[in-house]
Structure 1
Amino acid sequence: MEEKNDTGPHHFSMPAWISCAPFEQLLVMEIVRAQSGEAVLKMPFLKQFAQGAGLMHGGALVSLADTAVVMAIKSVLDPETHFGTISMESRYHHPVKKGILTARAVVTERQGRTLKGACDVIDEAGRTVMTFTSVFKVARDAAIRGISFQKTDAEAK
């Protein structure tokens, strides 16, 4: 019998609306808090996340920041609401060589079905190693609870 690679579509059930999906579990992300349009996540720098020079791969950092903004957005949407990233921008400030990273995300703006978010990724020394902004589109007829928008440390400067 020939072995088949299962390339999807994949169906799985998550334990809760605000919880890590399989990709986030692969990156060992932990949701510390997600409520009222804010989220804090943590992720260790494991060897598997290194690029060729031994620094943390930029894609792993973006995944952490994007997921943090997603969790902040989920905290203001009804469970099972469909939404997706339509754009993102990341700016790298310092290389990551070790440790556990903290991502602090906030929902910054809402215009109709469009939500904007921002995230600062901080290393164990307290340095902001990356700033990240993104835009999401919510499916039609989805409820968005009242939220107050905040600026990240980088935006306040």
Structure 2
Amino acid sequence: MPAWITCAPFEQMLGMEIVKAEAGEAILAMPFVKSLAQGAGLMHGGALVSLADTAVVMAIKSMVAPGTHFATIAMENRFLHPVKQGILQARARAGERDGSTIKGSCDIFDEKGRKVMIFGSVFKIARDAEIKGVVYGKD
């Protein structure tokens, strides 16, 4: 993986691990730990959303020039099943591009392979950023 595809301190605090990030796709893993639980003992939704958002970021980073600036400008998610234990896997894809925005999606699975969350997001790419040979901001 390129050197700039790494977890930031917040992502490290959550225990995220980048398994794969290439060609606009990424797989990340994150363990359920008690410190990420909400009051009823289930994994906090914010931790799941952080995993999905980070997975999409890594998918995008695998397509753009190192140092490219971009940020999440919209996101939507649906929780399908509660998480009470185990290692989660986030499978993300960078998708449709329109000018200086790029859409991403991510499905999160529990260790039994059950889909526990679906996630979609939109990112704003900085002007003049190159993605697969396309120069944005010069359309």
TM band (smaller chain):
over 0.9
Q: Which residue of 1 aligns with 2:108?
A: 121
Counterpart check, 1:57 vs 2:44? yes
Matched residue SS, 2:132: coil
CA-atom RMSD in angstroms: 1.4
Counterpart check, 1:94 vs 2:81? yes
TM-score (norm 2): 0.93
Check conservation: 1:76, 1:146, Cα contact below 8 A: no
Counterpart check, 1:32 vs 2:19? yes
Paired residue for 1:141, among 128, 132, 136? 128
Matched residue SS, 1:67: helix
Q: Which residue of 2 aligns with 1:74?
A: 61
The whole-number CA distance in structure 2 between the counterparts of 1:59 and 1:72 is 20
Larger radius of gyration: 1
Give the counterpart letter for 2:4 in structure 1: W
Tell me, which stretches of 5 or more residues in structure 1 are unaligned?
1-14, 148-157
Where is the strand percentage greater, Structure 1 or Structure 2?
2
Q: Which residue of 1 aligns with 2:137?
A: none
The whole-number CA distance in structure 2 between the counterparts of 1:43 and 1:19 is 14
Matched residue SS, 2:12: helix
The whole-number CA distance in structure 2 between the counterparts of 1:128 and 1:21 is 25
TM-score (norm 1): 0.83
Matched residue SS, 2:131: coil
**Percent identity for Structure 1 against Structure 2:** 71
Counterpart check, 1:41 vs 2:24? no
Tell me, which stretches of 5 or more residues in structure 2 are unaligned?
135-139
Shift of 1:16: 2.6
Q: Which residue of 2 aligns with 1:10?
A: none
Shift of 1:146: 5.8
Aligned residues: 133
4+ runs deviating over 3 angstroms: none
Give the counterpart letter for 1:81 in structure 2: T
The whole-number CA distance in structure 2 between the counterparts of 1:72 and 1:43 is 16
